[in-house]
Structures are given as structure tokens and as C-alpha cells.
Structure 1
Amino acid sequence: MASENPFKGNLTSLLKPGGGEFGKFYSLPSLKDPRADKLPYSIRILLESAIRNCDNFQVKKEDVEKIID
């Protein structure tokens, strides 16, 4: 059974210039993991997708760690 995303603390809001929320994304710099900074751009996209879909059922926290490694 799916559970709450363990990376929900990394969810960041995009704000409109006039105020209000434009959208949300999972911020890789908020992971504070220097390994993520060294990844190629294409792998960072896969990492963000894994974090976004992490439910500890289909995508587990260990899967995210494997991508970072």
C-alpha cells in the first residue's frame, strides 16, 4: 500500500509575480546532498521524477538513493 512521500519537505512552490501560487516542484538543492550537484542534467530529471513519485511502494526511498549514487 502506498504511503506519504518521504520527500514532502522538499516540495517547493513557484510564485506568480503578482502573488499567488503558480505550481510546485521537488527541489534538488533542498536535498543538501553534494552528490546530486555532480549528476548530469538528464539524470537530475530522472532523480526529480523518482522523488516526485516516491510512495515507498512502487518507487522506494532506496530507489532514489540508487539514482543519486
Structure 2
Amino acid sequence: MNLPTPLALVLLLSGVWSLVVWPPFLRRVLRDPRSRDDNGKGTRFLKVHIMLVSTSMILGAATAVIGVRALVA
């Protein structure tokens, strides 16, 4: 992959940022009272946020990998 080093670094930092920021957010969502109903079942609030966090982390990991590959190549 032929990318200028500054752009590769932006991709790498962006990916690392996503992987660092989203797990604490998910922990806060899991502790939020809106995450569970009275029976302890996960609510739509929880499901939407789990999908948001997982999608963001997958894209963050992919972005970081692209940045690393661009730096190495």
C-alpha cells in the first residue's frame, strides 16, 4: 500500500483512538439503569449501544491495521 507517512499515522492513531475510547463507554452503558428492564432483560438502549460500540471497534481495528500496513510497506 502506497500512502504518505502522515496519512498512515492519522489512520493508525484514529484506529487506536477508537479501540481506547469505546470500551470505557460500553462499561458505562452496561451500568446505566436504562440498560435493563425490571426483569433484568437487556433493553433496546443496551442493544443499540452494543451494536454501536462493536461496529466502531471493528472499524477502528481495521483502520489501525490499514495504518500499520501503510507504514510498513
Considering Cα pairs closer than 8 Å and 6+ residues apart, tell me whether 1 or 2 has the greater RCO.
2
Name which one, 1 or 2, has greater alpha-carbon Rg: 2
TM-score (norm 1): 0.32
Structure with greater helix percent: 2
Task: Provide the TM-score with structure 2 as the length reference.
Answer: 0.31
Structure with the larger strand share = 1
